Structures are given as structure tokens and as C-alpha cells.
Structure 1
């Protein structure tokens, strides 16, 4: 018996259904991995309810470079039994040698006193609100620069380098932006001074290694991409030089022990060329018609003309006598 056209149509429909089923399964296998996480997150959102807490790290406008480290759960919570000053968060970014453990001794008591004060100022104004580790890291950067040929070989020279600039482009901005005009908090100053004294006595903060630069995580300066990130300590990220300048061999300069300055350098203002001063000089050059003889000989049109408005030219003259005033 020959198959009819109806049986052929039934078989064709069956084949089409099988093909559609296989195509659907293949598409589901491809799309499912992408849909499951979203569905899971949606289900979690429904379980948490409309007032659920939203992680700040998920909000683009609340992020900054390195913010994920600080949005971690309990990132700022001190460890049990410790104070805020003792707690810290350190994130290692690269391995490298630590600085040499050696004291920085001034040649005289005055030199030692100045070195301590200068390093205390750097710690206080750069990391006054940081935990002890954050302050030790800043102190280590200052002392690393003292031993590197790219910077002065004195503590105060490094701290106040460029403080004479009027464009706030000094090495440590607190030394030229007016921050030192504020009276320091006595308790915070005492803590910074303790950290400075320990660092000058030879204590090394190893997590930042040979770092010579740092900046807060809220900014990303142009020079950061040319250096090697070492660690994140508190609110700062620390960098070291790349190549030979960042190796232990480069930090070979000996501390001079001589502190020739105790604070910021005097400001140097460089006048802009070609700009007329806004105030005329008080003493002017004598006019060629200043003598009476020259005034008589000179034509009237050559004499200096008055610049006072007509209605004010009689200002200051005595009033006429009332007896002679016409009514």
C-alpha cells in the first residue's frame, strides 16, 4: 500500500518538532548560564525585600580607585581588644625588599630635635587620622627618600622640599598649602611624634618596602602608572621606582645628620613678565614742566591736563564768606 500525502505530512511535522526541540535545548544550554546568576540575584532581592541594604561597591558613583578594598565587610572595624590607632588594613600588591634597619642620628642635639619635629609634621599632616601602621608607612617613605640620591639627604630637606613654591606643587602639600597654620591636636601630635621617634631610632615598616611615593585612594595622579605599586595601607597606596632606582642598591646615600632648616622655606614669588602692576608707584619721575620757568615757557596745550571731572574740581576749596554771598 502506497503512503498517502497525509502520512508524508504527518512525518514531516514530527521531524520539524524534533528539530525545534533540539534547537531549543541547544539555545537553553547557551543562555542558561547567563540567566541563572541574574535569576538568583533577583530571587535574593525579593527575599531581602524593597528596603534591603545595597552594597556601596555596587554603585558606580560611590566608587574610586581601590574602593573595593575598603568596602569589604568590617574593613574599618578594629580587631577585638585593640583601639582604632592600633588597628590597620594592609593589602600587599607586590613583593620587594624592605629598607635597611639603621638609625638616623643627628650630628648635634639640635639636628636630632629638628629631624624629629620635621618627621612628626609629615606624619601628622599627611596621616594624622590614620592608624599607627598608616603613620609608620608615611614615615618610612620620608626616610627612604633620605637614602635615595634623587632627594635631599636630610629629613627636613625631604619633608620641606619645594615648600618655597607659591603654586602648591611642593613634595608634601601640607608644607605649602597653608595646612600648618592650623594648631595641631596635642594628643594626635604626641602619637605622631612617638611614631617619628621610633622610625628615627631604626624601626622599619616592612610592608611598604622601598616605597618613595604614595597618594590617597580618592585620586589617581598621572605619575602613578610609571611606578610599581607596593601596598595599600589605610587610605594610601604606596609605590616604588621601577628598574634600578627601585632596588636596594639605589638606596645607598648616607644620612648627613645635619638639619639646616626647621620648617618650610620662605615663599618665592616670581612676577609674571609684561604685567603692569595694579597700583601706580607713589614716587613718580619729575615732569619736564615741573619748574615754574618751564611752565611759563611751555605752551598751554603742552601742560599736563587735569583728569578730575569738572563737577569735582572745586572740591576742597573754602566756601565763600556769607557776607559777600549774593542773595
Structure 2
């Protein structure tokens, strides 16, 4: 009996304090609270994860987590051939900033704007701002490059204050102000999803609620950004749908090019009270707070 007590005594002495310590840490750590977790949220609570990153627009940033040594995108002013071309480019870029990152801090909005302009300069994408923003918007399978252009988001009225901020950032980006932390990124997605194409890309930075990527190989180097902006904008909004088919049955189709849109399962159940024929979120309910601004 004495031998057994000698073996068990250390466990009896240390078990209670360790359990109490674990409970205390769980209560103090916001990462352990129900409803405040989502895929990729761990780095938000990591010490030093958002230490200021030099090189942002005139100041250090508290919303950027660098993942790679970002190479600055080539600087260029995007000027339309006519006043109408310039107006369309500004309106299209403002729409992308507002609907993709309207609740983000300015760093997140500038990053989205830079990705659009990076694509304009890259030979793999259309050679106009509106062409990049609304690429694939004629599709009915939600595989447009920016989901807001084909999922009904533009039906909601923009707030005057939010639109003015997005427009100001768009003006600065089109005038040639390069947002350095996003580097040569041409892809991004929210931290709440993990699309299949992400594994093949090189992560550049986490900015706000999005993670940004550049392509591997030559396509992700400065030499690839050689396309000139011709200044011609032939559209000012989403393209017309190419088919009259209802949205629901088309969810399983895929694009030959990677898309910003996450893979949406064909059997995704509609949310309670959702409007018919509108795209249904594939994000689990407990993860839908991931788009909250980091301010």
C-alpha cells in the first residue's frame, strides 16, 4: 500500500493545480471562447502577429501580417483614353473595393485595389479595370472572379460614407500609388474559406480578413507584369447572363481559370429565410464572423 501511495501521490498533488491553470487560461484567452473562432483565427491571438510592418501608405500598419518578402508591384498611372473611360475605371474599382472589403480597414481596401490593378498589368487577365473586376460576371454558376459581381450583392444600396471612402482609395490607386505589402499578389480569399487553388500559390500576406497570394514561377515575378494599360473601358458593370437557367442547378460547374469564388457544394442547403435563386453561403454559421473589421 505504501508503494502504491508513493506512485500516486505526485499525480494527486499536481492534477488540481494544472486543471485550474488550464481553466484559467481558457477563460482569459479569447481564442477559446465559443463564437470567436474561425479557420485561420489563431494568428489573430498570437503574440506579435500584427507588429507594425514598414512600407505601407505613409505609416506603419497594424492590420498586415507579412508571410513573404513582398516585391513591389510596378508603379503606373491608369488613365483612360477619354473622360468616360476614366469614369468607368474609377467606378469599377470603387465597386470592387466597396463590395469586397467595405467593412475592412483601409489597408484591406488598398490591398484589394492593388490586386485588381496587378491583374490589369498581367497577361493572364483582361487589359482593362472593368474587364478584370467583372470577368465571368455573365456566368450563372457563381464562378465569376469577384463574387459580388454575380451573387446579387450589388442589389443592396451602398452607404454614402463607405462608398466615398472606397472611391478615395480607388482614385489614389489609379493615380499610381502602389500598396507595397500586397506585392505581386493576384489572388486572395477570406480566412473563413480554403479554396483548392490556394495550395498551388505563394502566400504573400494576411491583410485584414483576407490572405493574398502570388502565382508560383515566372507568373509571380515583376517580369510578368508587362501588359500596358490601353485606357479603353468598354463596360461599366456586370455583363449580361449567358443563359436563362436558374442558379441552383449550376452550382457544380467549374472555371478553367482559378476563381476568387470558393468551391460551393451542389447540395448546399439554403439558409432559413433566404431568397430563392440567390447563392447560398457555404461557410458554416459559427465561422461567419470572420469578415469583421480588425479595428
* TM-score for both structures, normalised by structure 2: 0.71
Q: Does 1:124 align with 2:101?
A: no
In our comparison, the structure showing a higher alpha carbon Rg is: 1
Q: Secondary structure at the match of 2:75?
A: coil
Corresponding residue pairs, total: 234
Report which of the two has the higher share of helix: 1
Q: Mark the CA change 1:101 to 1:190 in structure 2 (over 3 Å): closer, same or farther.
A: same
- Structure 2 matches for 1:250-265, cutoff 5 A? 250-265=224-239
In the alignment, does 2:132 pair up with 1:155? no
> Residue deviations 1:233-270, cap 9 Å, x none?
00000000000000000010001100000111011106
Q: Which runs of 5+ in 2 are unaligned?
A: 51-59, 247-295
Q: Does 1:97 align with 2:97?
A: no
* Equivalent-residue separation in structure 2 for 1:120 and 1:67 (angstroms): 28
- Residue in structure 2 matching 1:166, options 114, 131, 140: 140
Q: Does the CA contact (< 8 Å) of 1:88 and 1:131 recur in 2?
A: no
Structure 1 residue 60 displacement after superposition: 9.0
Alpha-carbon distance between aligned partners in 1 of 2:217 and 2:18, rounded to the nearest angstrom: 46
Alignment partner of 1:44 out of 21, 40, 48: 21
Aligned to 2:273: none
What is the CA–CA distance in structure 1 between the aligned matches of 2:34 and 2:221, rounded to whole Å? 38
Match of 2:83 in 1: 109
**Which shows bigger deviation, 90-99 or 228-237?**
90-99
Q: Which residue of 2 aligns with 1:249?
A: 223
SS in 2 for 1:53: helix
Q: Over residues 110-161 of structure 1, what are the superposed CA-to-partner deviations in whole Å (9 max), with x where a residue is unaligned?
A: 1000000000000000000000000000000000000000000100000000
Distance 1:40 1:104 in 2: 63
* 1:226–1:242 CA contact under 8 A, matched in 2: yes
Q: Structure 1 residue 202: deviation in Å?
A: 0.5
Q: CA deviation at 1:57?
A: 2.6
Question: What TM-score do you get using the length of structure 1 for normalisation?
Answer: 0.64
Q: Is 1:221 aligned to residue 198 of structure 2?
A: no
CA RMSD of aligned residues (A): 3.3
How far residue 102 of structure 1 moved from its aligned partner, in angstroms, is 1.5
- Contact kept, 8 Å, 2:128 with 2:230, in 1: the verdict is yes
Aligned counterparts, 1:1-327, within 5 A: 41-45=18-22, 48=24, 53-58=27-32, 63-72=37-46, 88-269=62-243
3-state SS of 1:262 partner = coil
**What CA distance in whole angstroms lies between the structure 2 residues aligned with 1:234 and 1:71?**
14
Structure 1: runs of 5 or more not aligned: 1-19, 26-30, 77-85, 273-327
In structure 2, the CA distance between the partners of 1:221 and 1:253, relative to structure 1 (3 Å rule), is: same
